């Protein structure tokens, strides 16, 4: 646990009592704060009551004399809106009273360093990863590479444990964080040693008031704390802008530009992948080259970009190209992200349930040459129209969930079948697939019409695939 600093003797309210909320409450108590808590859901309130926290319904507290008396600060879980499309009533009230509003990420960055670090020869480092797609894989890959290198490393944030729930890092320790736009948008402190921006595509736009607000939330990771090293994907205009704003010129090697598809050899430091080969360039010289085509855990150009980001981050810590290359080959990948489940008579079954938007689905569709595509769920604005240029490798689509018929209208001349359920889609795709083809679950839609989350959807797909004769 990371005890929160600077809260001794203060009363802090915590809103939202999921994994990160309860970890935050514990860390505040460990730092000497008095804590009151609230969650709109009964399940969260029951968990807090079981741990003995002071449960206070701040939604009914309409003034300082009605529940807010003595509260010095509000800490908010990331899933709760604080500005768009409208702030949660508790957050709105806290702001109206002038109380600071923060989240666990902000508390983490202000509390991680201690006086004990002055005695360390190699103080701990923090690598923070953000972006639209590839955050989880990049974070897990960096963590894996450091484990292979024998470095003491912990993974937290939007993946793994809550940031305040990890152990205080010691000599040479590294903390690798995945940070969503929800987390970077509100944190009052953001001071990573190495910051990584993978890419940007439209997502969570209602939460950020549009694309500009979404990018601004990501950009805060670089603008607020000024990381020692910035690893920035430049395959979109926003990344090019961010690299320009962060660096002092093209040869400034504090900025490492990364790309999947572009050659970047005119900069102080760059890592890029083209046609399945990763190259690292520094000050006009190629420093390393790796063939990624045989790395089973990182299929496709989108995963090659993730490899470039992880390569750049771990090279910034001084790891050797040879060590990193070996670690890439031993990386198994993450569940629900281009996860190879089974090879059945020459037909591979790939679980990419995490592909909940068209951008991530497009990347999955470009990773394989012959695809039986399972898609659908709770579709987002625009449906799958944006995927039209990427459907050339699809032999047939098997459509499920709430948006199955809407997606069917947008399929054009691509053969398709409305299956509605995952069970029917897996059965039909398995019956029709031929050796050399891939049955790919890349839904391009949210899961909430049929499943609690994308993990449950992917688990159901995996169960059905495992049960095939």
Paired tokens of 5: 């600093």
* CA R_g for the chain: 23
Q: Computed from CA positions of residues 372, 377, 380, 385, in that sequence, does the dihedral angle turn out positive or negative? A: positive
Write out the DSSP string of 215-280: HHHHHHHHHTT--SEEEEE-SSHHHHHHHHHH-SSTT-TTEEEEEES----SSSEEEEEETTEEEE
Give the distance, in angstroms, between the CA of residue 120 and the centroid of all CA atoms in the same chain.
31
Asked whether 308 and 277 are in contact (CB, 8 A), the reply is: no
136 labelled as ligand-binding? yes
Q: How far apart are CA 320 and CA 174, in angstroms?
A: 17
Q: How far apart are CA 153 and CA 469, in angstroms?
A: 41
77 labelled as ligand-binding? no
Residues whose CB falls within 8 Å of the CB of residue 153, separated by 6 or more in sequence, listed in order = 143, 146, 147, 173, 174, 175, 176
Q: How far apart are CA 186 and CA 77, in angstroms?
A: 10
Q: How far apart are CA 76 and CA 54, in angstroms?
A: 16
131 labelled as ligand-binding? yes
Q: How far apart are CA 69 and CA 457, in angstroms?
A: 44
Q: Which residue has the tokens 């600071």?
A: 100
Q: Which residue has the tokens 């514990």?
A: 26
Give the distance, in angstroms, between the CA of residue 409 and the centroid of all CA atoms in the same chain.
31
135 labelled as ligand-binding? yes
Q: Computed from CA positions of residues 338, 340, 343, 349, in that sequence, does the dihedral angle turn out positive or negative? A: negative
Q: Which helix (H) or strand (E) holds 14?
A: strand 11-15
134 labelled as ligand-binding? yes
Q: Which residue has the tokens 């900025």?
A: 255
Annotated binding site for ATP: 131-137
Annotated binding site: 131-137
């Amino acid at each position: 646990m990371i005890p929160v600093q600077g809260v001794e003797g203060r009363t802090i309210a915590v809103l939202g009592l999921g994994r990160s909320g309860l970890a935050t409450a514990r860390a505040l108590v460990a730092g000497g704060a008095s804590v009151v808590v609230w969650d709109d859901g009964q399940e969260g309130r029951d968990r807090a009551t079981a741990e003995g926290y002071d449960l206070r319904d701040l939604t009914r507290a309409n003034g300082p004399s009605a529940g807010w008396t003595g509260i010095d600060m509000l800490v908010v879980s990331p899933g709760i809106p604080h500005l768009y499309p409208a702030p949660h009533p508790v957050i709105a009230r806290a702001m109206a009273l002038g109380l600071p509003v923060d989240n666990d990420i902000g508390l983490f960055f202000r509390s991680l360093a201690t006086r004990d670090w002055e005695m360390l020869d190699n103080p701990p480092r923090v690598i923070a990863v953000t972006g639209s797609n590839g955050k989880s894989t990049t974070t897990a890959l960096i963590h894996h590479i450091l484990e292979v290198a024998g470095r003491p490393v912990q993974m937290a944030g939007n993946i793994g444990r809550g940031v305040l729930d990890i152990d205080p890092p010691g000599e040479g320790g590294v903390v690798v964080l995945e940070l969503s736009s929800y987390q970077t948008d509100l944190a009052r402190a953001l001071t990573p040693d190495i910051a990584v921006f993978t890419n940007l595509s439209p997502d969570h736009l209602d939460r950020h008031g549009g694309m500009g607000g979404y990018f601004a939330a990501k950009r805060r990771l670089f603008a607020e704390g000024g990381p020692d090293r910035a690893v920035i994907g430049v395959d979109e205009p926003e990344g090019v802008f961010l690299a320009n704003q962060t660096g002092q010129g093209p040869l400034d090697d504090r900025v490492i530009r990364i790309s999947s598809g572009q050659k970047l050899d005119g900069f102080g430091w760059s890592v890029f992948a083209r046609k399945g080969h990763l190259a690292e360039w520094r000050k006009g010289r190629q420093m390393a080259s790796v063939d990624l085509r045989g790395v089973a855990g990182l299929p496709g150009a989108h995963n090659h970009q993730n490899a470039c980001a992880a390569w750049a981050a771990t090279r910034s810590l001084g790891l050797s190209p040879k060590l990193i290359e070996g670690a890439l080959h031993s990386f198994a990948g993450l569940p629900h992200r281009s996860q190879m489940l089974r090879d059945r008579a020459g037909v591979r079954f790939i679980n990419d349930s995490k592909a909940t938007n068209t951008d991530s689905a497009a990347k999955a569709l470009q990773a394989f040459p012959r695809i039986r595509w399972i898609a659908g769920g709770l579709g987002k604005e625009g449906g799958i129209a944006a995927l039209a240029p990427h459907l050339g490798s699809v032999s047939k689509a098997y459509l499920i969930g709430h948006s199955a018929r809407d997606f069917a209208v947008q399929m054009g001349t691509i053969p398709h079948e409305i299956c509605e359920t995952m069970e029917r889609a897996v059965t039909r795709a398995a019956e029709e697939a031929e050796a050399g083809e891939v049955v790919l679950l890349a839904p391009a839609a949210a899961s909430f019409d049929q499943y609690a989350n994308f993990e449950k959807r992917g688990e159901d797909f995996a169960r059905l695939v495992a049960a095939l004769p």
